[in-house]
Structure formats: C-alpha cells, structure tokens
A and B are shown apart, each in its own frame.
Chain A
Amino acid sequence: MSNCNWCGELDEVNITSGGSPSPPSPYVSIAHMYPTGGGGGLPNEWDFGGGGGHNGTHNPDNPDPEENPCDKINELESDRAFKRRLLDLEENTSLDYETGFLINHNGSVYDPIAGSPNTDEINFNVSGTIDGYLHSHVLPNGNSIFSPDDIEALYLLYNNGHINNTGTFVISVVTGHGTSYSIIIDDINAFNTFSQNNLIGDNFNSFSIGYEADYNQLNDLFGLSSISAREVALLNALENSGLSILKGNSDYSDWQKIKAQGRQTVDVDCN
C-alpha cells in the first residue's frame, strides 16, 4: 500500500510448520493466522468447534481485539493463497453462476461454494466459524460491487456466531465487470449498532431501497458510470457502519481503502 509509509521497509516472512516459534511478522497470511493441515506433528489443525472465538453467539461486550486497518490491508496484499483464489474467481466470472470460497471451513483453508446455473445468487451454509468468504458476481445481472444482501450476510454470520475473529474477518467479491472489493470490520461495535438499525427486518428493506434509489439517481441523473455509481451508493449506505471498503487492483496485490466524497470516490490513508 502506497499509503503506509513503512510498508516497503519490511520483508515478507514465510512461515513453515515445525521448528522454533516464528518471529513477529509485519505480513500475516490467512494460513499463518489460522494454520490448517500441514505436517510435522504440530497441533495446527483448525478447530471449528471449541476453545475461544465465538462458537455460537457473538458477544458484543467482549469483542475481538481490533487490528490496525493498515495491518489488515497488508495481510491481504501479501497473502499469496488469497490472491490465487481471487484469480480463480476472476476466471469463474465467465460462468453463468456464482462461485466462492469460505475461508477455513470444514477443514479446508478455502472451502469452495457455488450457486445454481443461470442464477445470480450464491447461498451457503456454515458449520462452526470461518475467517471470511470470497465470491464472484457474474454477468449480466451481477453487481459490480457488494450487494445489500452481501452486507446482510456479513451481519448474519456475525450474529449467528460464525465469525471466528472480527478483527481479521474479510469478505471479497470479484465481478464480471472487472472490479474487485473487500470489506473488513474496523469497528465491531459500530457495525453491530449499524446492523440493528439497517440490516434487520423492515430496516433491511429500507436500507436496500435507499442504496438502490441512490444508485439509480447517481447513474441516471448525475451521469456516473454504473461502476462509479455503485461505489458511491454503497459507500454512502455504509457510512458509520464500522466497515471499510477496499478496492482491489487487477492482480489483487493492492487494496485501497475508499470513501465517498460528494459524488466521487476518493482514496483513504489506511493509517
């Protein structure tokens, strides 16, 4: 990230199983944070059921420690497996159904999921907790950014205790429009409050209608491109949500935090 003035000074550290404990690392891959599989007899299997995490219900009084957004962004940028899965999704945007991955689910670091042919929806079950999910949006109807339903799904995962660590949880979308975005949780308390007011029952209907009306106005009246209008509309809709939207570059090696300013999208320093 060009906005982290210290990022370039630090080298990536590869973590291997076995041996002595790893030194502190500025870059942490998902496999590093949540070791799965591997060998060497180390107890590095992902634990879906017990010990720590939420495992059933969230606890707003005892949220996970929040990470510096810069750190979270750097983790995404340096995570090769994450980038590979996004490239997989990019290839899959030519399909007539959505595909995706649940991170650290059912014993897989990236557990694949898929929608039904000729649909623009992907729905999934979760057992235990996960560390994020990635999915595609396909043409012709798929949005160029997260849909309101994607935001609601994030809340449902949180509310039903399926998020292992809100401090590191990530959702990403790769679209047939050539765009990619990720969402991270910067402030879980703000997200919880926002969700109560916007993502439950009739409030979700109002949230969706507001976002869609804003998009249509920006696109039809103010002449923003469909992609820009969706960016601005979603950023507007998620104001004070405790979530950050990151925009990916073409090879997913750079994730830029963005915000709406008037009818434009501007970059935000991550620190």
Chain B
Amino acid sequence: MKTIIFTLALLLNLSCVTAQEVTIKKGTKIEDVKKGTYYKTDKALLNKYLGIWSTTVNKKVFKFEILKSKTEVDGIFIDRIVGRYYYDEKSDVYLSDATYECSAMEYGLDVLEKGKLRFRFFDYDNDKLGVLEFELIEENKASWHLLERGGYRDESFRKGFSVPIEMVLIRKK
C-alpha cells in the first residue's frame, strides 16, 4: 500500500513539474530557467494586441487576427505572437499547410510595452514576404503599414502586395 501511495505521489509530483507555468512580468528575474517549463508572457502586456482587427477597404472586409503561440525553444516553452489575415471572403487559406502565418519579429516585454509590433508578413496571394508595422494608436485602434523587406531586390518586389499597405484597423470587441 505504501508503495502505491509513494508511486502515486511521485507521479503527481512529476506531472506538476512537467506542466509548470511561470508568468514573465516586467522586472521579473528568472533565477533558474528549467526545461519543460512554460514561461508565459504577462497578459497585461500581451492582451492589448490579441484579437481580430478589421476594416473595410473598397467594400471588402479585411481582418487581421493576432494570436499568441506557445513555442518550444531548446526544451523551454515561451509565448510567440503570430498573425493571419482574411481579405475578401478568403477564410480557408490557413487550412493549407503551404501557407504560413505572419510572425512578430520581436515580442520581448520591452517591445510589447511600446505598443508597436513588427511582423514578418506573408502575402499568400503574391507568395512573398514583407514587413508589417502594426502600431497601437489608441485602445482598440491600430495603424497598419506594410513595407517591402530589405535586402537584394528579387522578382517579388515587382508584385507589390495583394492587400492595402496603409490602413487603420479597429479591434472587434
């Protein structure tokens, strides 16, 4: 009986260790970073970005959804910020494995605090990458500015983007 209790206690203990979550807040110093732990980003900094941001352009609805993505790096889990867009009724594009999401290039606490995110933006109609500057201009309102990437100008530059490059988006409540 003692053996069973001991085994159960050990299993419970192990499950606690593997499922451990720690919230990272501004000024928090992590003394001992442990593998298997999920280091979550402070909701207070993250939540102002998350959700569906939208506008209407030429009678077409544009939506940009920002989500957090639990990501493993060398056995440690952190929050990453990703985005995906829908334009002109195209809503099933992400069912394809060939289409990848937009991904925030930096999402540290200092960056989140500033209210401006830069995404590596994937234009799935034109099959090219760009840089999206997404900046909160007030609560639930953000500016969208899409740029060509830096580097050698290959043929993708001629295509431009299939979505508007300048917009103001409102977050749905």
Contacts and interface: CB of A to CB of B under 8 A. Distances in A.
A153 B152 contact: yes
Contact of A153 (B98, B129, B150): B150
Nearest to A158: B152
A254 interface: no
A7 interface: no
Contact of B150 (A123, A202, A209, A223): A123
A209 B122 CA distance: 13
B113 to A, nearest CB: 12
B144 interface: no
A6 interface: no
Nearest to A116: B147
Interface stretch (B5-13, B84-92, B103-111): B103-111
A10 interface: no
Given A98-B150, A123-B149, A217 B78 contact: yes
Given A156-B154, A221-B76, A141 B118 contact: yes
Interface of A: 98, 115, 119-126, 141, 147, 149-150, 152-153, 156-157, 160, 162, 202, 204-205, 208-210, 212-217, 219-223
Contact of B108 (A119, A141, A220): A220
Interface in B50-100: 71, 73-74, 76, 78, 80, 98, 100
A121 B131 contact: yes
B167 interface: no
B2 interface: no
B40 to A, nearest CB: 11
A115 B150 contact: yes
A141 B108 CA distance: 13
Given A121-B131, A149-B150, 5 more contacts: A125-B153, A152-B151, A208-B120, A209-B103, A216-B108
A208 B150 contact: no
26 contacts: A123-B153, A123-B157, A124-B153, A125-B153, A126-B152, A149-B149, A149-B150, A149-B151, A153-B150, A205-B122, A209-B103, A210-B73, A212-B104, A213-B71, A213-B73, A213-B80, A214-B74, A216-B106, A216-B107, A217-B73, A219-B108, A220-B39, A220-B108, A221-B30, A221-B39, A221-B78
Contact of B105 (A98, A119, A212, A222): A212
B1 interface: no
A202 B97 CA distance: 10
Contact of B152 (A157, A210, A217, A220): A157
Interface string B130-155: 01000000000000000111111110
B19 interface: no
A139 to B, nearest CB: 13
B24 interface: yes
Most chain A beta-carbon neighbours within 10 Å: one of B106, B108, B152, B153: B152
Contact of A202 (B76, B100, B108, B131): B100
Given A205-B103, A212-B106, A213-B78, A222 B153 contact: no
B44 interface: no
B103 A208 contact: yes
A122 B150 contact: yes
A214 B109 CA distance: 15
